[in-house]
Copies of this chain bind each other. A is one copy, B any other.
Amino acid sequence: MPHKKTKTLKPTADAVEILRRRTYAGKPARMKNLEEARTNEEIARKIQELRTAAALTQTQLARLIGTTASVICRLEDADYEGHSLAMLRRIAGALNQRVEIRFVPIRRSA
């Protein structure tokens, strides 16, 4: 997924273009990555937490959602970056939970 395109900027009056540059220009991209890493870690922990709270082994949870233990293990890996809404829903459903998704505004620096 290419995200690096810092070619030499040329002048523009396009407000959207300006916003795009401001957003992807400096550190924000890196911060965004860190933020995502944190989130992935939290998701992994949360899955493990819910599973153990339900007193299930990886194999048992896997059977509940129709997959295998290795898949569950992968999901509980803090470094895993491939979390999908579909999978989170399957996990949640098996554990009598639902996935709630919210867009929350970011406080723009200080």
Contact = CB atoms under 8 A, between A and B. Distances in A.
A71 B100 CA distance: 23
A47 B75 CA distance: 26
B89 A100 contact: no
User: How many copies of the polypeptide does the oligomer hold?
Assistant: 2
Contact of A2 (B20, B66, B84, B94): B66
A97 B104 contact: yes
Given A50-B103, A85-B85, A98 B16 contact: no
Interface of A: 1-3, 5, 16-17, 19-20, 23, 32, 35-36, 39, 43, 46, 50, 56, 60, 63-64, 66, 83-86, 88-89, 92-106, 108
